[in-house]
Amino acid sequence: MKKRVTLTFPRRMVQMPVTYRLAKDFNVAANIIRAQVAPNQIGKVVVELAGDIDQLDAALDWLRSQDVGVSLANREILIDEESCVHCGLCTGVCPTEALSLDPKTFMLNFTRSRCIVCEQCVPTCPVEAISTNF
């Protein structure tokens, strides 16, 4: 199964090869979606973890034991369909084509399963129709 989590690393952990440890010790694959990490600073990484459910839980327990903050909050993009004027601006920045304009109706389509919650679309909307649930 897959879990998307936000990890907050203390300064001493920022240089640690966490994805290697997750793969080697827990057989958990880590796909980094977004990272804000700088040397000697607290780091934040949004990551999708894939593996066996028990191994995933063990991996998260290990991360917590290393003082890594683990947030399982289910982050989502919200589109206000009442406000959207279907201008298509947001589709130009979406890296996964979760946002697209229907070629026939020219209406905005949002395919949630493709969205990686990178938030790049949020500031592009001229009518502030895109927001997050956090």
| Footprint on this chain of ligand SF4 (rule: CB under 6 A) | 77, 79, 84-90, 93-94, 96, 98-99, 108, 115-121, 124-125, 127, 129-130
Please identify, using beta-carbon distances, which residue of 63 and 99 lies nearer to ligand SF4.
99
Q: Which is nearer to ligand SF4, 50 or 89 (CB)?
A: 89
CB closer to ligand SF4, 52 vs 76: 76
Which is nearest to 51 in space by CA: 20, 23, 16?
23
Helices and strands counted in the chain (H then E): 2, 8
- Rounded to a whole number of angstroms, the minimum distance from the CB of residue 128 to ligand SF4 is 8
